[in-house]
Structure 1
Amino acid sequence: MELLYVFRILNRKKWIIAGAGLLGLLVAFLLTMGNKKLYKSQSQMSTGFTVSEQIKLSEDIFNMSQIDVKFNNVIENITSPKVINLLSYKLILRDLSSQDPFTKVDLKDAKDGSELKSLNMEQAKKIIANKYDSLLLLASNVKQEKAVIELIKAYKYDMESIKKRLFVTRYQRTDYVNIFFSSENPELSAFVVNNLIKEFQRYYDHTKRERSIESMVALDSMVKKRKAELDDKIAAKSRFLQDSVVSTLDPNLVGANKLSQMSMNEAGLADQLSLVSNLTYQLEQINLQLQNLKTDVTTPAAPVNDNQQYFALRKQYNDLYDEYIKNGASDPAVKQRLEDLQTKMKSVAPTGTTTGTTNNNYAASQQSILTQNKIDIEGKLRAAQSKIGFYRSKLGEANSFISSATPKATSKLEQFDKEIEVATLEYTSAKEKQTLAANMSDSGVANFMQTIYGQPALNPEPSKRLMVMALCFFGGLVLASVLFIFLAYLDQSIQTPSQFQRQTDLKLVGTINNINLKATNLKEQITQIESDEANRKNSFRELLRKLRYEIESTGKRIILLTSTEPQQGKTTLTQALAFSLSLSKKRVLIIDTNFCNNDLTAYNDAQPTLEQFSVTDEKLDFASVEKIITPTGVENVDIIGCKGGDYTPSEILPKNHLLKFLPQFLKKYDFIFMEGAPLNGYTDTKELVQYADGVLAIFAATSELKQADKESIKFFGTIKDKFLGAVLNKVDDENLTN
């Protein structure tokens, strides 16, 4: 499809395209006319994924793909139904309890039969508060809760309504997550972005605490199992000493129950070794965190009251935890007290910035916490190492007595010692994992920190109404243009002279525009020329004159007009050419040789005599021929008609038929025109070629070239000496020059 042709199509449909653009503009105007002003608020949260300010309890490798997954998980959790519904519960409770609600809804306007009309507001508030406190969702299959769900939807605080105006995204490739919310109330927007972070943190802490409790239960059972295995090994060694060497030992040793003390010392040594391993690892992590914080703060800030309260609770927790471990970690009351202390520490733990607090102050606060923790751990570490030395000295004394008293049992005792050492390592490893799991619940306290607090917007967001209307206008123009171009692409008809030549590679001797013959007669269209007509505006007549000139210039006088398909305009064009030649004082004879469709005979009321006429002598007698010729009513144009039928010229014409003597007709007529049947379905044209001097092919611009047409076009290549060229008929006026 040529570019110029595309432009012509668009120019032809320009008013429709402009109408489509105006329609889009009108639709945009109507749709945006009722838009209300929206106020946007923004809050920001630091995740701590990329720059951690907490004690690391594992050797994490900084992996960008893992960080991206973590951010995606956080964003998915923030926009999850659980968190959004917690926010909606908080919003509806605030509106139902406040004298100045964000949204005002008149429940009297509810539909008849709706459960909202019979809803008890006090009972509804209790249901919502219970669901909010227990972090549960309302159930639509419970009648009362279903009514509450309808109430939330009436206030447009349901999950779908909130998510339509909520946008949560990571800010570039930083540690921050931005939260945006737009609403008609600036106070509502600020409330949503601030409380969404709080609800997310509450949900996250609850979920993490549940997971930590599950892990602690599993690890408690593992520690108890390892402890029992270690006690069994120590008890086995004690029984061996009693059974094998008690008779040879020092009486003082036996009398003082030294063997029992050895078992206690070995168990105590195992506990202290496990404690030293945990404390050493934690101390290394604290030192690493303090080293990282030196770049953020040079002088530690004085701890505030909250930090002092946190330190006191932390010390209570550490002391109680040590007591819990020493007693076998099986007392449920102590465990419950530990969980309560842990909850209190979370509530008073420094959470980073408050309003007006800077990042440096927060880093200084964290440094103070880490420094105090370091002092506590170093004290515990020194105490544990002192106890290890004491236990080892006692065990060394007892082993020296036993080795000197029973030399033969030394190898057996060494085996027991190795088993006890392995069991001690396993027990130490299990306790270390238990300590890590216990501290995991504290490690996320300050991970998520709100860094920007949403404020009510002073001005509404730009409506961009003019931009939307402009886009709809140009969108309508583009869509309409694309539609017309697409329809033109689907239209495989010839349309233009340039496309015809590109598709057929035939010589084009003329183009004829499309005319409406219903409004006027063909004879009148060509022959009636007004004498007072100053301007030559009849394009059909002018194009015929050009074609007439091309035919006259060839020197051919007996011309066969044919086509590849029917309905191409052969009949009309044959008469039009004859009438046009008559204007230049040329005599023309038309012979209807289209036996499958004798329209020429019918239109001119000609005598159907072609099939019966036969020349008796070798010389044509014009007196006898004049009997079969019918005048057309146009001066100098005559016609010989045919009956037509299911036969070809070779089958119906007599031996000495008229067509053999056409050269003799040229003495009386300047041109002889014959119309042949379409080449695709009939052989008539191929049989008539031998009687013609030239062949003229007629193609309609509204037709499509099929494979059968291409096969017929090849026939014109076999009669190059007689083929005059092609005429493109029925061309739209806009496509004549293309």
Structure 2
Amino acid sequence: MELGNFFKLLWKHKNLLIIIPLVTIIVSFFLVKNLADKYISSAQIATGIIDESRHLLDADQSGAKEQSIAHEFSNLIEIMKLKTLINQVSYQLILHDLQQPVPFRQPSKLFLSMNDAARKHAIEVFTDKFKKRESLSYYNKDENGLNELLRSMKYDERSLRKAMYMNRDEDSDFISVYYESENPQLSAFVVNVLCKEFIDYYTHTVKQNETDAVNYLSKLLDEKRNALNTKTNQLQQYKIKNGILNLEEQSRSIFNQIMVFNDRKQQAQREISSYDGTIKKIDDKFDPKQRKYIEASVSKFNQDIVNSQDQLHLLTDKYVSSGFNPKLKLSIDSISNKLASQINETSDKYITNPLTGKDDLVKQKLMLEVSRDLAKYSIRAISNSLNDLNAKFNRLVPFDATVKTFNFDIDIASREYLDILNRYNQTNLQSTFSIKLRQIETATPDTAEPSKKMLLIFLGGVVSFVFCVIVLFGIFFFDDNIKEPGDLVKRTQLPLIGHLNTVTGSLDLKKLWDVEHRDKMKLFKELIRSIRFEIDQELRGEKVLGITSLGDHEGKTVLAISLAYSYSMINKKVLLIDGNFNNPTISNTVQPKVFIEDYFKNNPDNYEAFSASTNVMGNHGGDVTLLEVSDENFIRSRFNELKMKYDIIIIETPPLSSLNKSKEWLLFANKTIAVFEANGDISKWQKDDINYLKSLEGKFAGWVLNKTDPKKDRF
């Protein structure tokens, strides 16, 4: 579809596009001329959401809060739109009109019909609903009547919402509330009541939620504190029962003592080994006789040495048991010195073998034996102490596991308690400063808004004009009718030889060629001449032309007669044959003397009756076909005779919708043209006929589009 065609369609209906918007403007003028002026009142509410000076005590002042600012403003605006709050405004409005002598609006019929008792009852119900923030029930007959009263005064929730709107002022901390009505006092009253009720509702709701949260955290804090105290008491009782002061220090001390005793034991074992080796080497230097002599000589001094050794053993046990107390070390050193002097005395007193000079070896051996015995005895004491320390350490292991379990439970309970304590303190602090909403600008009656009457009238005209354009575009878009020759070629994929414009009234061909007529008639004559020329180019010396169509009343007869007359004007001998038995329009109009049924019938008498001066061959009509009149060969011979007598033979055939009736005539035509009426559509069942025309190939000359718009350019 071309855009130019659409503009042509608009131009064609230009009167419609002018009249309808004009009527709409006139109607709009009478509808809006009595409209009341509109008054808008506004107020501002400070939320404190982005006011940093009001967040000094907040625990979290990070930028993460910025992400939720838009959501917080959206939530506040949606809360303001709650039905509960709008109902509060409705109750205040109706109570004002019921109680004050000058109502905000002109009283409705239902309002005026109320008596004093009904007014008093309505005031009581509305006041009670206002205090309780309840809605009127539609299922209660009495309350439903009060709902009807609100609707009659246009104080109901739906009516108020239509003229009420609120929004955040760009990126500021403020929410603006607007209301539009025909009364400036009414507009200001609605805005102020809504803001007050919103702030009260939000304050009460937030306070209640925060109080519930603080109470819940307080209760939970007591539970966690009691749980922590219980765990702590259990640990204390367990330590008292098992004699545990500081398990970690005790276990560390015992472990250190075990390490010290192990070191002393290893050292004593090394000393014993060294002493035994040294004594053995000394004994190896003495023969048995000398050893007997020495032992016999010193036996009287051994008793004193043994006594000193016993004292030394006792002090060594105490020294080891005390954990190597330095004070006992002095006593041990004193006894050791005494023992050494006794051994020296022994070495001085004994009688040595005059043959042997080994005094120092004997003395050294005695000293080594004493030291070895002392080391052996200290190992036994150290081993006993190690056994006692290991036993004590093993007893601490289960105590340590139990104490760690208690400490772990106490640690968890302590963390839970501290977490709840922090949340409790934070919530308690925020609840003190949480209410941030306040009305910073009160709504006041304002002047009337600029009149929109002219704008409404203009919009009415524009909307009606656009609506008409849309309707015409829909008609244009969904219109598949063929209006121009180009459309016919695109739809059928067959050539076009010309088109004819629409001519109103009777068509007098003789006058058409004799005198000048109006423009439409002149155009028709020129188009016939053009078609005649195109047909001559297609015939190329052939003489028989068949004219058909897809359906009835397409204009075959007019075209056939016009072409016949046009050829006669150039001194051609023309024969016009009316082959349409179903609708013999030419035969009924011209009243010919020769008929198809007579001429093409195989009868010798008919041959002499036909004269060369005959211009039209008609038919008697009826349900008959050409091949039913005579056989094909005879008919073809008759056409050969006619070709000898005439320059051009034009046959008007039945439409292709008559099936074989048209196709029988086209068997004898050298060229075929088809007439199609403009503004028509090609139906599905006509596609077979188009395929038939395509099958004719070179015999089909092309289409003639009839009844086109005379103002369109010629092809």
- Output the TM-score relative to the length of structure 1: 0.67
Q: Counterparts of 1:667 and 1:543 in 2: how far apart (Å)?
A: 29
Q: Counterparts of 1:196 and 1:500 in 2: how far apart (Å)?
A: 69
SS in 1 for 2:596: coil
Q: Given that residues 29 and 469 in structure 1 are in contact (C-alpha distance below 8 angstroms), is that contact kept between their aligned partners in structure 2?
A: yes
Shift of 1:200: 0.9
Deviation string, structure 1 residues 511-570 (Cα, Å, up to 9, x no partner): 122345xx53x4xx3224597867665244453344345445655432111223333222
SS in 1 for 2:439: strand
Q: Counterparts of 2:64 and 2:463 in 1: how far apart (Å)?
A: 47
Asked whether 1:470 is paired with 2:447, we answer: no
Pairing partner for 2:424 from 402, 412, 434:
434
Shift of 1:202: 0.8
Deviation string, structure 1 residues 263-312 (Cα, Å, up to 9, x no partner): xxxxxxxxxxxxxxxxxxxxxxxxxxxxxxxxxxxxxxxxxxxxxxxxxx
Pairing partner for 1:226 from 219, 224, 227:
224
Deviation string, structure 1 residues 698-738 (Cα, Å, up to 9, x no partner): 11113223455555445555555544332111223344658
Q: Given that residues 607 and 641 in structure 1 are in contact (C-alpha distance below 8 angstroms), is that contact kept between their aligned partners in structure 2?
A: no
| Other-structure match for 2:549 | 563
| Other-structure match for 1:501 | 489
| Other-structure match for 1:697 | 674
Instruction: Point out the structure with the larger helix share.
Output: 2
Shift of 1:22: 1.4
- Residue type matched to 2:637 in 1? K
Shift of 1:436: 3.2
Q: 1:42 to 1:533 in 2, by over 3 A?
A: same
| Other-structure match for 2:104 | 102
Q: Counterparts of 2:484 and 2:652 in 1: how far apart (Å)?
A: 25
Q: 1:462 to 1:119 in 2, by over 3 A?
A: farther
Q: Given that residues 503 and 520 in structure 2 are in contact (C-alpha distance below 8 angstroms), is that contact kept between their aligned partners in structure 1?
A: no
Q: Counterparts of 2:91 and 2:488 in 1: how far apart (Å)?
A: 72
- Residue type matched to 1:427 in 2? Y
SS in 2 for 1:201: helix
Q: 1:659 to 1:527 in 2, by over 3 A?
A: farther
Q: 1:585 to 1:654 in 2, by over 3 A?
A: same
Pairing partner for 1:125 from 123, 129, 147:
123
Shift of 1:584: 5.1
Pairing partner for 1:86 from 77, 85, 88:
88
| Other-structure match for 2:77 | 75
Shift of 1:164: 0.8
Shift of 1:204: 0.8
Q: Given that residues 592 and 639 in structure 1 are in contact (C-alpha distance below 8 angstroms), is that contact kept between their aligned partners in structure 2?
A: yes
Shift of 1:420: 4.2
- Residue type matched to 1:206 in 2? H
Shift of 1:470: 1.6
- Residue type matched to 1:645 in 2? D
SS in 2 for 1:423: helix
SS in 2 for 1:82: helix
Deviation string, structure 1 residues 172-206 (Cα, Å, up to 9, x no partner): 34433222111112222223223322211111112
Q: Counterparts of 2:547 and 2:566 in 1: how far apart (Å)?
A: 16
Shift of 1:600: 3.7
Deviation string, structure 1 residues 74-125 (Cα, Å, up to 9, x no partner): 11111110111122223333444445543352667657xxxx4575333433
Asked whether 1:733 is paired with 2:710, we answer: yes
| Other-structure match for 1:380 | none
Asked whether 1:623 is paired with 2:608, we answer: yes
The structure with more radius of gyration: 2
Shift of 1:573: 2.1
| Other-structure match for 2:415 | 425
SS in 2 for 1:674: strand
Larger CA deviation: 67-76 vs 590-599: 590-599
Larger CA deviation: 575-584 vs 2-11: 575-584
Asked whether 1:176 is paired with 2:189, we answer: no
Shift of 1:214: 3.2
SS in 1 for 2:475: helix
Pairing partner for 2:574 from 588, 593, 607:
588
Q: Given that residues 601 and 607 in structure 1 are in contact (C-alpha distance below 8 angstroms), is that contact kept between their aligned partners in structure 2?
A: no
Pairing partner for 1:485 from 448, 461, 473:
473
| Other-structure match for 1:45 | 45
| Other-structure match for 1:640 | 618
- Residue type matched to 1:43 in 2? A
| Other-structure match for 2:187 | 189
| Other-structure match for 2:441 | 452
SS in 2 for 1:137: coil
Pairing partner for 2:531 from 523, 547, 553:
547
Q: Counterparts of 1:155 and 1:690 in 2: how far apart (Å)?
A: 85
Q: Given that residues 592 and 616 in structure 2 are in contact (C-alpha distance below 8 angstroms), is that contact kept between their aligned partners in structure 1?
A: no
Task: Report matched runs for 1:657-672 at 5 Å.
Answer: 657-672=634-649
SS in 2 for 1:477: helix
- Residue type matched to 2:31 in 1? L
Q: Given that residues 581 and 654 in structure 2 are in contact (C-alpha distance below 8 angstroms), is that contact kept between their aligned partners in structure 1?
A: yes
- Output the TM-score relative to the length of structure 2: 0.69
Q: Counterparts of 1:621 and 1:240 in 2: how far apart (Å)?
A: 146
Larger CA deviation: 136-145 vs 533-542: 533-542
Q: Given that residues 206 and 435 in structure 2 are in contact (C-alpha distance below 8 angstroms), is that contact kept between their aligned partners in structure 1?
A: no
Shift of 1:226: 1.6
Shift of 1:476: 1.6
Q: Given that residues 498 and 530 in structure 2 are in contact (C-alpha distance below 8 angstroms), is that contact kept between their aligned partners in structure 1?
A: yes
- Residue type matched to 1:433 in 2? R
Q: Given that residues 615 and 656 in structure 1 are in contact (C-alpha distance below 8 angstroms), is that contact kept between their aligned partners in structure 2?
A: no
Q: Counterparts of 2:632 and 2:108 in 1: how far apart (Å)?
A: 103
Q: 1:609 to 1:124 in 2, by over 3 A?
A: closer
Q: Counterparts of 1:431 and 1:76 in 2: how far apart (Å)?
A: 34
Asked whether 1:145 is paired with 2:175, we answer: no
Q: 1:695 to 1:106 in 2, by over 3 A?
A: closer
SS in 2 for 1:727: strand
Q: 1:97 to 1:117 in 2, by over 3 A?
A: closer
Q: 1:225 to 1:622 in 2, by over 3 A?
A: same
| Other-structure match for 2:509 | 526
SS in 2 for 1:657: helix
Q: Counterparts of 1:652 and 1:22 in 2: how far apart (Å)?
A: 65
Q: Counterparts of 1:665 and 1:77 in 2: how far apart (Å)?
A: 98
Shift of 1:2: 2.2
Asked whether 1:676 is paired with 2:653, we answer: yes
Q: 1:496 to 1:108 in 2, by over 3 A?
A: closer
SS in 2 for 1:484: helix
Unaligned runs of 5+ residues in structure 2 are: 246-394
Asked whether 1:6 is paired with 2:6, we answer: yes
Question: How many residue pairs end up in the alignment?
Answer: 560
Shift of 1:165: 0.6
Asked whether 1:199 is paired with 2:187, we answer: no
Q: 1:623 to 1:206 in 2, by over 3 A?
A: same
Q: Given that residues 513 and 736 in structure 1 are in contact (C-alpha distance below 8 angstroms), is that contact kept between their aligned partners in structure 2?
A: no
SS in 2 for 1:91: helix
Q: 1:174 to 1:660 in 2, by over 3 A?
A: farther
- Residue type matched to 1:93 in 2? L
Deviation string, structure 1 residues 381-406 (Cα, Å, up to 9, x no partner): xxxxxxxxxxxxxxxxxxxxxxxxx9
Q: Counterparts of 2:405 and 2:529 in 1: how far apart (Å)?
A: 125
Asked whether 1:514 is paired with 2:516, we answer: no
Q: 1:124 to 1:475 in 2, by over 3 A?
A: closer
Shift of 1:440: 4.0
Q: 1:639 to 1:621 in 2, by over 3 A?
A: closer
- The CA RMSD measured in Å over matched residues stands at 3.7
Q: Given that residues 595 and 617 in structure 2 are in contact (C-alpha distance below 8 angstroms), is that contact kept between their aligned partners in structure 1?
A: no
Q: Given that residues 110 and 149 in structure 2 are in contact (C-alpha distance below 8 angstroms), is that contact kept between their aligned partners in structure 1?
A: no
Q: Given that residues 186 and 457 in structure 1 are in contact (C-alpha distance below 8 angstroms), is that contact kept between their aligned partners in structure 2?
A: yes
Q: 1:235 to 1:505 in 2, by over 3 A?
A: closer
- Residue type matched to 1:465 in 2? K
